[in-house]
Structure 1
Amino acid sequence: MLLLTLYRGLTDLSAPVVRLLLLHRRARGKEDPARLGERLGHAGRPRPDGPLVWLHGASVGEALSLLPLIDRMTAERPGLSVLCTTGTVTSAALMAERLPPGAVHQFVPVDRVSGVRRFLDHWRPDLLLLAESEFWPNLLVETARRGVPMVLLNGRVSDGSFTAWRRHAAAPLRHLLGLFRLSLAQSETDAARLAALGAAPVRCVGNLKFAAPPAPADADELARLRAVLAGRPCWLALSTHPGEEALAARVHRAVAERVPGLLTLVMPRHAPRGDAVRAALEAEGVTVAQRSAGVLPGPGTDVYLADTMGEVGLFARLAPVVVMGKSLLGEGGGQNPLEPARLGAAVLFGPRMENFREIAARMIGADAARCVSDAAALADAVADLLLDAADRSALGARGAAFAAGEADVLTRVLEALAPWLDPLAPVRATPPEALSHAGGQAGGHAGP
């Protein structure tokens, strides 16, 4: 507990540093200037009346995994309000578009006691559902001190975190994990690691990432871009990170030697990097059309740079072959391969898929995705799939079936949460007319 006490004391003294850090992040486009106060615990919206469930996810991936849960909770439990917090500008934009009525978004406060207390004083949550591994000490301790039940959702412990936490922060983490009433792990490996670190009780009911619906796309814009592409063969480098865009350009040149008319689509993970990404691509000698500048690809365009937010569904529908970013270079970790798989794309990724190890391994085992070792292997795989329509379609179909294979995980998660949700807002009873459509069974029941 000494480390935890020291951490809390140091964060109390950090106000000037925190403000400078937030201003620096704002200047780099990593904070919303109009909502900077939320990062200090000042509410940007009034608290809804009635019971309030607070869900927190770090960024886009965690927020996407929470959306189906939020949709079901608000639909099934009238009178229940939802507060969703995240920490990035990109995730805030996503939540603004996709949160259902009865749910509001706020930026999570920086982990200082004063800001966390200010946040809790205003929102007064009745339950906290925290996604994956956002173990901010002040946030957890202050929430628990107010008697707010906390449940860990889709808990995940990476290889590096498991080693580091056991070696350097075993006692503080054991205390923090002990504050959760229940920890739901996204895999059996994560469940074992959470238990070893001090979480109890721990259960594995499946990975919430399987519950996400297909990413949406504007039908008119999809039709317009398909007409612009005019049948050109294309592939998508999705959620790329620094260094991967230059690699995509080199892969483009190699594949174009075998696939005439090739267009490469590049969607960086962080859209504000667009200008830097364009410079990196052009430095490799390819011609680029930049979407954020309103430019469409022409016959002489090599790469269409999709530096926009909220359009994964659009570009993953345009490209029959999708390569996951953050999986070939640098620190790795990977991005969620289920997103393009749901849309029937043939999915490829590199060997650095640590953050999605179980999903990646299972997809490879089911031949629902393929792993490539390096840039040369990636170029060969992309070219082979673009030239072999039957293989491409079969791989995409197996990927779509895999992504849909655990759709009932959401029901299992909601069943595990029922002891805390039921006292706040019971599930709405099924209307009698719905029962008649289910075969005319007598009597009613509570449930979706």
Structure 2
Amino acid sequence: MLAYRFLIALAFPALLAGLVWRVLRGQEGTADLAQRLGGGLYAPHGAVWLHAASNGELTSARPLIETLLARRPDLHLLITTNTVSAQDLAASWRERRITTRLAPLDLRWIVRRFLERHEPAALIMVENELWPNRLRLTAEAGLPIAFVGARMSEGSARNWQKIGLGPEVMATISAFSAQDAGSEARFAALGLPRDRILPVMNLKGSVTLAPPSAPLDWPRGQTVLAASTHEGEETLILEAFRRARERVPELRLILAPRHPRRSGEVAELVRKAGLGVAIRSKGEAPTQPVYLADTLGEMSNWYASAGICVIGGTFAPKGGHTPFEPTAQGAAVLHGPDISNFADAFTALDTAGAAVLVQDAAALAETLATLSTEEQARMAQAAARALAPLSPEGGPGELADRLLERFGPALAFPPAKGR
């Protein structure tokens, strides 16, 4: 732990410089910087601190969040995220018992400042946010810590074994629910006590999107959605779409970047590919071949509009995003080779012929040009059957009950009050 503290302290000047640069460029404000340094306005006393890194993790946790708030009318949540877009997403829910902040950097003085300022009653970490200082100081403050939807790849497990922090970090965890059996085994091998383990639950398998409010008036079988794309992926997808459209001129593309702030950059990529683009955030009518969906909270509209969904994060080293949401809306799934975040789900889909793995732009172009409306429907039906065994039986209600049971004494706090 001392070595980690030393290294993170050495990295702090560079981290701070990067954050200041973001403020100077207008990407974040001074209030955002203050929050990352453990400051910001006070949260209600005794809130449960829930941390989700970004949009995907936060969306997956939403059913659990709603269930916790329903189970405990006196409960207040302090939600922290690593990104401004995820913070905006949480704020867009307009839940009066949720306060949002950007997560504090993992330096001891910053984490201590955050804990002393906000005085949370417990900490819930979503997925794979293993921050040693945050966990150690929270545990030292006597607060219970839970991990939900936890995941860990084989590579990450090897790295944790090498640095030797596994047992010390695992000892801070009070309750633990993994996303899959493999992740549970890897956490246990790092020293997670068996009596802290709750049933496996893939949170993303229980996410229910809001009904679409304004799907595009495009023929669904000729519409492709590129969902949650990252830097480097749009170029490949646009090239494939351009080639496919030479064979099928009726094809349309909804391009939804993972981070809407990249809208200008992505729009320029579309133009460089020789394609017309209409931009959602500017209110432009969808009359061009590419519709840039650069807003938050509208993914149900885009899933409902497209017969084919290309999953972002699978062509870049990001591990891939959820296949549960597009398949639930009846879209046929195409994906690249990086599926580590949802290995069980993608493997089940591929084995059942309910998804197509494409390695490059040429293969993606061929699939886009030849995947018929009938085949799209068959894949969607096969996907529902393939993913059914991976959906949590007890749902978020069972997990919420188990967490509240473990957190019981810590949550006997006075009524939330602002300061």
Report the counterpart of residue 440 of structure 1 in structure 2: none
Q: 1:5 to 1:363 in 2, by over 3 A?
A: same
Three-state SS of the structure 2 residue aligned to 1:139 is helix
Give yes or no for contact 2:178–2:202 (8 Å, CA) kept in 1: yes
Partner residue, 1:147:
142
Helix, strand or coil for the counterpart of 2:406?
A: helix
Displacement of 1:200 after TM fit? 1.6
How far apart in 2 are the matches of 1:58 and 1:373? 28
Q: Give TM-score, length-normalised by structure 2.
A: 0.89
- Deviates further, 25-34 or 138-147: 25-34
Q: Kindly tell me: are residues 425 and 196 of structure 1, through their superposed partners in 2, closer, same or farther at Cα, counting changes over 3 Å?
A: closer
Once the two structures are superposed, the pairs formed by residues 13-24 of structure 1 within 5 Å of their partners are: 16-24=13-21
Match of 2:265 in 1: 276
Q: Does 1:56 align with 2:51?
A: yes
User: Are the structure 2 counterparts of residues 164 and 30 from structure 1 closer, same or farther at C-alpha, using a change threshold of 3 Å?
Assistant: farther
Partner of 1:106: 101
Counterparts of residues 152-191 of structure 1 (less than 5 Å): 152-167=147-162, 169-170=163-164, 172-191=165-184
The residue that corresponds to 2:417 in the other structure is none
- Measured after TM superposition, the shift of residue 140 of structure 1 is 0.9
Secondary structure of 2:247's aligned partner = coil
Of 186-195 and 410-419, the range deviating more from structure 2:
410-419
Q: Which residue of 2 aligns with 1:293?
A: 282
Alignment of 1:48-447 (within 5 A): 48=45, 51-98=46-93, 100-167=95-162, 169-170=163-164, 172-201=165-194, 202-215=197-210, 217=212, 219=213, 221-222=214-215, 225-226=216-217, 229=218, 233-298=222-287, 301-328=288-315, 330-385=316-371, 388-400=372-384, 406-407=391-392, 408-423=394-409
Contact 2:144 2:407 in 1 (8 A): no
Q: Is the 8 A contact 2:50 2:78 kept in 1?
A: yes
Q: Output the CA distance in 2 between the equivalents of 1:257 and 1:370.
A: 21
* Residue identity opposite 2:131 in structure 1: W
Q: For 1:75 and 1:375, locate their aligned partners in 2 and report how far apart those are by CA, in whole Å.
A: 46
Deviates more, 1:132-141 or 1:277-286: 277-286
Q: Give yes or no for contact 1:191–1:204 (8 Å, CA) kept in 2.
A: no
Choose 1 or 2 for highest CA Rg. 1
Q: Which amino acid in the other structure matches residue 263 of structure 1?
A: R
- Per-residue Cα deviation, 1:30-57 (whole angstroms, up to 9, x for no partner): 5344332111111324415xx5321111
Once the two structures are superposed, residues 278-306 of structure 1 have per-residue CA deviations (whole angstroms, 9 ceiling, x without a partner) of 222222222222333332232xx222222
Following the alignment from structure 1 to structure 2, what is the Cα–Cα distance between the partners of residues 231 and 16? 50
Rounded to whole Å, the distance in 2 between the matches of 1:302 and 1:162 is 44
Amino acid at match of 1:311: E
Partners of 2:129 and 2:145 in 1: CA distance: 12
Shift of 1:149: 0.9
SS in 1 for 2:77: strand
Kindly indicate whether the alpha-carbon contact (under 8 Å) linking 2:91 and 2:100 is maintained by their aligned counterparts in 1. yes
The change in CA–CA distance for 1:236 and 1:94 in structure 2 (over 3 A counts) is same
Q: Pairwise CA RMSD of aligned residues?
A: 2.5
The alpha-carbon distance between structure 1 residues 15 and 252, as it changes in their structure 2 partners (threshold 3 A), is closer
Q: In structure 2, how many angstroms separate the alpha carbons of the residues matched to 1:21 and 1:211? A: 37
Offset of 1:308 from its aligned partner?
2.3
CA distance 1:27–1:326, shift in 2 (3 Å): farther
SS in 2 for 1:308: coil
Aligned to 1:430: none
Change (3 A) 1:311 1:164: same
> Residue 110 of structure 1: CA displacement?
1.1
Report the residue type matching 1:97 in the other structure.
Answer: S
Cα separation, 2, equivalents of 1:231 and 1:321: 8
Q: Is the 8 A contact 2:311 2:334 kept in 1?
A: yes
What's the secondary structure of 1:417's corresponding residue? helix
Tell me, which stretches of 5 or more residues in structure 2 are unaligned?
A: 413-419
- CA 339–245 in structure 1, closer or farther in 2 if over 3 Å, else same: same
Structure 2 counterpart of 1:396, one-letter code? A
2:43–2:78: 8 Å Cα contact kept in structure 1?
A: no
Q: Secondary structure at the match of 1:370?
A: strand
The answer to whether the 8 Å contact 1:182/1:200 transfers is: no
Partner Cα separation in structure 1 for residue 381 and residue 224 of structure 2: 17
**Could you tell which deviates more after superposition, 137-146 or 306-315?**
306-315
- How many residue pairs match? The answer is 408
Identical-residue share of aligned pairs (%): 36
The structural deviation recorded for 1:18 is 4.2
Structure 1 gaps of 5+ residues are 427-448
Distance 1:13 1:259 in 2: 55
Q: Using the TM superposition, give the Cα deviation of residue 424 of structure 1 relative to its aligned residue in structure 2, in angstroms.
A: 5.4
